[in-house]
């Protein structure tokens, strides 16, 4: 999704900005641009496409600048719609969505102002420029403009003749930092990281003024706020693909390590306060999106089956507008790899307003979710670059299952052990390579069904999401027993079916669905821990995963599904790491 960088110092700004933008590339974007103040005058370069397309901009001189990677929301991906947007003396980069842009645009146009893009973001440049004319002070102009903007924004703003960058944040992340004679801003820590830099995460409603000498933070009333800085670590080495052709494949290989690093290791689980909250937890509410929502579904199966804790799993974007009922004794668990997903943050906030404590499960230290939550368990997946979540899913499961194990202790109950999962996952990765040979059956298919019951249905939903996301094939993750209530009408010889069967109590039942789709000509691919099923005549090919407690089986059964999606994506000629239209971190609603 969109990314922001900004620099003021003694070095030339353009190379610093381009370097920062490269570090934000993994988020997904379609156009780029930078604006530099050179002897008080704005110079802007923007392009449709990747940061590399902006190489010429490196020659711009000037020591103050802002840059942006854009992921189109309002207006097509094009050079014209790329940021920075300029109006008069003002240049702006914006993340988020300005919801009243059309209204404000009409007001500006009535004043005779001409717009040069179709974006909602350009309105920020116009409104700020209007107030800058009146105030002559950039901070006050941004402050007054922010008061007129509805929606979400992270803004970094330059003005001709001003040796400063002014920033504003509302519901879209922004971090400011200072070094010796330098100041920085970015939407994401990796774009800022360098040992010894002092950083501050802006809170909602705050503003910042960055000069070469200092960073100042102002509250919603523009009163100066004193803040404790945190020290940034040494610049993280940009992740490399190593011996793998794609990050996604490499990240599947890293699943065992991600599980290992997320099992029981979080201090949070030993923390006295969370222990007290867990002792009084009678219900879990999970709020999450996409893959994180699916790990929540898997958790719910385990929590209900093993500990009989009623657990509801909510799509965060639905929860936030659902006027939720939050009974006393509910612990809300917000799951998010990035910790920046706008809907998950809003859902977590609402749960707190309704009196629930929020436990965050996230992969990113200093993320907005970890700062908002009452407690956080950091997963140990390491940086995930591919847009399709793989190892972070397993890390979330490991953290969530560990949480259950701790709860089981308080309840003097006992859970099946989790320690063997890293090794078992390693075994499954090897076995899953055969999915490469399944691709021809999926090429040219009309649609794909992933079927399962109980916990296997949750795995099926994740397998389907992965396939859709990186192959663009229509697919559904479906409850096997529900098929004949309508959807079976879609199944024929051009509808491959992937069945997941890991629960001994439900194996025969899911096999009924396998018979039904086979009878309609479908090729069936099976992921199971029951060897006898692999040799059934209905099964075209299978991956036999090791036996494990079925409540925890998604930890293993999802691996072949990830691998299948990866290989089909290659077979259709896609780049699995960068699916069209998608971003790694979804910071807008």
Contact positions vs ligand M6R (CB under 6 A)? 289-292, 336-338, 341, 344, 387-389, 465, 469, 585-586
Q: How far is the CB of 345 from ligand M6R (least distance, A)?
A: 9
Beginning with the edge strand found earlier in the chain, give each strand of the sheet holding 230-231 in spatial order: 41-48, 31-38, 64-70, 3-8, 182-186, 175-179, 198-201, 230-231
Q: How far is the CB of 59 from ligand M6R (least distance, A)?
A: 36
Distance CA 260, CA 420 (A): 9
Q: How far is the CB of 344 from ligand M6R (least distance, A)?
A: 5
Q: Which is nearer to ligand M6R, 261 or 585 (CB)?
A: 585
Q: Do the bridges between strand 230-231 and strand 224-225 make them parallel or antiparallel, or are there none, so unpaired?
A: unpaired
What DSSP assignment string belongs to 169-223?
A: EESS--EEEEETTEEEEESSGGGT--TT-EEEEPPTT-EEEE-SS-EEEE-TT--
Q: By the 8 A CB rule, do 338 and 403 touch? A: no
222: region left, alpha or beta (phi > 0 left; psi from -120 to 50 alpha) = left
113: region left, alpha or beta (phi > 0 left; psi from -120 to 50 alpha) = beta
Our answer to whether residue 2 is catalytic in this structure is: yes
Q: Which is nearer to ligand M6R, 37 or 381 (CB)?
A: 381
Q: How far is the CB of 57 from ligand M6R (least distance, A)?
A: 30
Query: What tokens were used for 185?
Result: 């801003």
170: region left, alpha or beta (phi > 0 left; psi from -120 to 50 alpha) = beta
In the Cβ-directed half-sphere of 38, how many Cα atoms lie within 13 Å? Answer: 14
By the 10 Å C-beta count (0-12 exposed, 13-18 middle, 19+ buried), 589 is classed as: middle
3-state secondary structure 560-585: HHHHHHHHHHHHCCCCCCCCCCCCCC
Beta bridge partners of 451: 478, 499
Q: How far is the CB of 388 from ligand M6R (least distance, A)?
A: 4
- Catalytic residue, chosen from 23, 466, 468, 584, is 584
3-state helix, strand, coil in the chain (%, to 5): 40, 25, 40
Q: How far is the CB of 404 from ligand M6R (least distance, A)?
A: 20
Q: By the 8 A CB rule, do 169 and 206 touch? A: yes
Q: How far is the CB of 396 from ligand M6R (least distance, A)?
A: 8
Q: Which ranges constitute the DSSP H helices of 3-100?
A: 13-23
CA dihedral defined by 384, 389, 394, 396, rounded to 10 degrees?
80
Our answer to whether residue 584 is catalytic in this structure is: yes
Residues 6+ apart with CB under 8 A from 224: 216, 217, 218
Cα 46 to Cα 52, 392, 525, distances in angstroms: 11, 33, 47
Strand runs labelled E in 23-63: 31-38, 41-48
Q: How far is the CB of 339 from ligand M6R (least distance, A)?
A: 7
Distance CA 119, CA 86 (A): 12
Q: Which residue has the tokens 């009408």?
A: 489
82: region left, alpha or beta (phi > 0 left; psi from -120 to 50 alpha) = beta
Q: How far is the CB of 538 from ligand M6R (least distance, A)?
A: 30
Q: How far is the CB of 586 from ligand M6R (least distance, A)?
A: 5
Q: Which residues of 317-342 are buried (b: 16+ CB within 10 A; e: fewer)?
A: bebbeeebebeeebbbbbbbbbbbbb
Q: Which is nearer to ligand M6R, 311 or 562 (CB)?
A: 562
Active site residues: 2, 584
């Amino acid at each position: 999704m969109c990314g922001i960088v900004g620099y003021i110092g003694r070095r030339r700004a353009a190379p610093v900005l381009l370097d920062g933008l490269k570090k934000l590339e993994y988020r997904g974007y379609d156009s780029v641009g930078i604006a530099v103040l050179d002897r008080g005058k704005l110079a802007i370069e923007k392009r449709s496409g990747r940061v590399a397309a902006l190489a010429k901009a490196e020659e711009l001189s000037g020591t103050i600048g802002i840059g942006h990677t854009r992921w189109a929301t309002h207006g097509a991906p094009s050079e014209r719609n790329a940021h920075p947007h300029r109006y008069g003396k003002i240049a702006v980069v914006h993340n988020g969505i300005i919801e009243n842009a059309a209204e404000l645009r009409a007001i500006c146009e009535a004043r005779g102002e001409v717009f040069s893009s179709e974006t909602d973001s350009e309105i920020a440049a116009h409104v700020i420029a209007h107030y800058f004319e009146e105030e002559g002070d950039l901070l006050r102009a941004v402050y007054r403009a922010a008061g007129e903007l509805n929606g979400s924004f992270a803004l970094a703003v330059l003005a001709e003749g001003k040796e400063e960058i002014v920033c504003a944040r509302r519901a879209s992340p922004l971090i400011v930092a200072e070094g010796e004679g330098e100041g920085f801003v970015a939407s994401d820590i990796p774009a800022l990281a360098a040992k010894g830099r002092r950083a501050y995460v802006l809170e909602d409603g705050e503003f910042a003024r960055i000069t070469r000498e200092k960073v100042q933070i102002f509250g919603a009333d523009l009163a100066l706020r004193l803040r404790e800085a945190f020290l940034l670590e040494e610049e993280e080495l940009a992740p490399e693909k190593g011996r793998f052709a794609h990050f996604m494949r490499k990240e599947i290989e890293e699943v065992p390590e991600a599980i290992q690093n997320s099992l029981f290791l979080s201090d949070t689980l030993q923390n006295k306060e969370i222990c007290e909250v867990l002792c009084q937890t009678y219900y879990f509410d999970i709020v999450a999106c996409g893959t994180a929502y699916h790990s929540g579904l898997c958790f719910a199966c385990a929590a209900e089956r093993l500990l009989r804790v009623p657990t509801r799993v909510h799509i965060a974007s639905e929860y936030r507008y659902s006027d939720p009922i939050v009974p006393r004794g509910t612990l809300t668990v917000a799951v998010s790899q990035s910790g920046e997903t706008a809907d998950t943050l809003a859902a977590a906030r609402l749960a707190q307003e309704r009196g629930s404590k929020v436990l965050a499960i996230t992969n990113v230290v200093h993320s907005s979710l970890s700062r908002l939550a009452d407690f956080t368990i950091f997963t140990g997946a390491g940086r995930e670059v591919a847009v399709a979540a793989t190892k972070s899913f397993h890390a979330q499961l490991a953290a969530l299952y560990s949480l259950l194990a701790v709860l089981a202790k308080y309840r003097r109950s006992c859970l099946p052990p989790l320690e063997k999962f890293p090794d078992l996952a390693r075994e499954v990765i090897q076995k899953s390579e055969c999915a490469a040979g399944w691709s021809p059956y999926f090429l040219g298919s009309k649609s794909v069904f992933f079927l399962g019951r109980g916990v296997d249905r949750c795995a099926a939903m994740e397998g389907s999401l992965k396939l859709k996301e990186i192959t663009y094939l229509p697919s559904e993750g479906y409850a096997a027993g529900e098929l004949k209530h309508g959807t079976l009408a879609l199944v024929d010889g051009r509808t491959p079916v992937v069945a997941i069967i890991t629960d001994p109590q439900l194996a025969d039942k899911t096999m009924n669905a396998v018979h039904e789709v086979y009878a309609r000509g479908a090729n069936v691919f099976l992921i199971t821990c029951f060897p006898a099923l692999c040799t059934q005549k209905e099964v075209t090919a299978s991956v036999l995963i090791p036996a494990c407690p079925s409540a925890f089986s998604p930890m293993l059964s999802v691996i072949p599904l990830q691998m299948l999606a990866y290989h089909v994506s290659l077979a259709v000629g896609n780049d699995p790491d960068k699916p069209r239209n998608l971003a790694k971190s979804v910071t807008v609603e």
